[in-house]
Structure 1
Amino acid sequence: MRFAYPVRAAAALSLLGGSALPAAAIQLTPHRATYAVSLDASKPGNRVNGAEGQITYELRGNPCAGYSVQLRQSTDLATEGGRLNSAVTTATWEDGDGNAYRFRVTNALNGEAPDEADGVAERKDGKLVVQATKPEAGTVQLGTGVLLPTQHVLKLITSAEQGESVLEAPVFDGSPDARKVYDTLSIIGKGVSDAKGLEEAATKGDLAGRMRFPVTISYYERGGDSQTPDYIISFDMFDNGVSRNLKLDYGEFALRGTLTAYEALPKEECAK
């Protein structure tokens, strides 16, 4: 059983042809967010009886310096076969125009040697080309129109602010094997800014009174025949890129992520 919080966070400011929207249109807030993980009781699980853990997500950077993301997810599951621990770490950097990407993803079960994905991706003549070092060294061309994770996030915010309710986009984040592209279908709800139902961490600082949109993203493996998504992520997305009320649906079971701490990090000057 493998599971992880996708690198998104996650995904976009590029048009599907690879050209970018104006970088100054949306300002992502550098931040650190912590989420308490629990089993989603609303979705019956056949093999999972309980879950607890934590997700820590940290975004730094801007359109000039690029965006770096550090993500750590540790989850303990109570399954029919005993306790299972998954430890996922992700470190990525993406340039502000979505033309270069560096990624390293590890996923370890019960302290064993982790699965790893490591490499770089660059746009060449409009095509996204990945040079991987792990799990296997090699080069793969992913074609045109594939979004990188921060590109996808920015594209979601743009679509939400323009009142669009559906966004379809292929996304590459490096997991799980440094070559897989997911076709994504995002359903975006209407924005709200009231504090009803918010965790305390989502009502303070620069999140207070900020517009947020409910988003559900279904991930389908490109080229697959199944009409059922590999996994589904739901969350409330603030217009500065911060998320709350996470739901990670892996099919057999689902996890909830409750925002317990939020900290805006220092911003760097950027002329874009």
Structure 2
Amino acid sequence: MPVRVPFRVALASAFLLCAALPAGAVQLAPHRATYALSLDGSEPAKRVDAAKGQIVYELRGNSCAGYSVQLRQNTDLDTQGGRLSSAISTATWEDGSGSAYRFRVTNAVNGEVPEEADGVAERKGGKLVVKATEPEEATIQIPGNVLLPTQHVMEILSAATRGDPILQAAVYDGSPDGRKVYDTLTVIGKGLTDESGLEAAAKSGELAGRTRYPVTISYYEHGGKSQTPDYIISFDLFDNGVSRALKLDYGDFALRGTLTSYEALPREECPKN
């Protein structure tokens, strides 16, 4: 049975209710972060002997202009059936109030023609209306309180600062086919400031001394009855939206992501009234 690298990327690829958060409640830092991927040796791996790769994540914008995210993930897996290489690229833009969203996601496995998801989403009449152009043209209406990725991150941070240990939310990011919605359960630990054991990139510059929260997000089939998640993401989330100590658990195997570099990008302030 071949091992497939999941299309969906998890970072922030990243992550309320549909109302916008109060101004100034959460401030996300524009930044570029690079993570080295390796096989998590603490978890049993089925049919995967070794893994290596890299994630480059870039966030720009603010609550007024919206947030743009670009993410590239390259992963090489040594499996019992041979080498499996995956190249995932995502480019998204999300309105600061979570009312509009654009996405493009591609995934090429072993250099083959990539799978693609492309479209736009807008909130109308209490629904998230998605107009997809890839993998096929379609209009999808998603009812209920469904969060977009940056909304999800901000709500996790808001819950963390309130001391709330649990957050449940349906989340939509456009992958893998423009139709998928996941039910998520997020477990949030208490804030930490101790820097012992942190990567050099996580304790220098604007990250030095910042509070971070251990976070675990489990993703489930939307509306399903299974208590087993499709996959689980764990990481430390700094109070400005930067992540470290990634763990991407796909069930048959898990990857670790170590923060190797961090660059603060220019801040774009909201215009003053």
TM superposition score normalised by structure 2 = 0.96
1:257 match: 257
How far apart are the structure 1 equivalents of 2:5 and 2:194?
Answer: 37
1:9 match: 13
The structural deviation recorded for 1:126 is 2.1
1:62 match: 62
Q: Which amino acid aligns with 2:14?
A: A
Q: Which amino acid aligns with 2:60?
A: R
The structural deviation recorded for 1:7 is 5.7
Structure 1 residue runs of 4 or more that deviate by more than 3 Å after TM superposition: none
2:73 match: 73
What does 1:77-226 align with in structure 2 at a 5 Å threshold?
77-226=77-226
The structural deviation recorded for 1:30 is 0.1
How far apart are the structure 2 equivalents of 1:2 and 1:253?
Answer: 10
Residues 11-46 of structure 1 show CA distances to partners (whole Å, capped at 9, x for unaligned) of 2xxx32x11121321110000000000000011111
What is the CA RMSD across the aligned residues, in angstroms?
1.1
Per the alignment, in what secondary structure is the counterpart of residue 75 of structure 2? strand
Q: Which amino acid aligns with 1:6?
A: A
What does 1:225-264 align with in structure 2 at a 5 Å threshold?
225-264=225-264
Per the alignment, in what secondary structure is the counterpart of residue 128 of structure 2? strand
* Structure 1 segments unaligned to the other structure (5+ residues): none
8 Å CA contact 1:23–1:96 kept in 2: the answer is no
* Structure 2 segments unaligned to the other structure (5+ residues): none
Q: Which amino acid aligns with 2:10?
A: P
The structural deviation recorded for 1:248 is 0.1
Residues 232-260 of structure 1 show CA distances to partners (whole Å, capped at 9, x for unaligned) of 00000000000000000000000000000
Per the alignment, in what secondary structure is the counterpart of residue 161 of structure 1? helix
How many residues matched?
Answer: 268
The structural deviation recorded for 1:224 is 2.6
How far apart are the structure 2 equivalents of 1:105 and 1:144?
Answer: 24
Per the alignment, in what secondary structure is the counterpart of residue 147 of structure 2? coil
8 Å CA contact 2:10–2:248 kept in 1: the answer is no
Q: Which amino acid aligns with 1:182?
A: Y
Residues 158-178 of structure 1 show CA distances to partners (whole Å, capped at 9, x for unaligned) of 000000000000000001110
Per the alignment, in what secondary structure is the counterpart of residue 259 of structure 1? strand
How far apart are the structure 1 equivalents of 2:89 and 2:23?
Answer: 28
Per the alignment, in what secondary structure is the counterpart of residue 24 of structure 1? coil
Per the alignment, in what secondary structure is the counterpart of residue 76 of structure 1? strand
Q: Percent identity?
A: 70
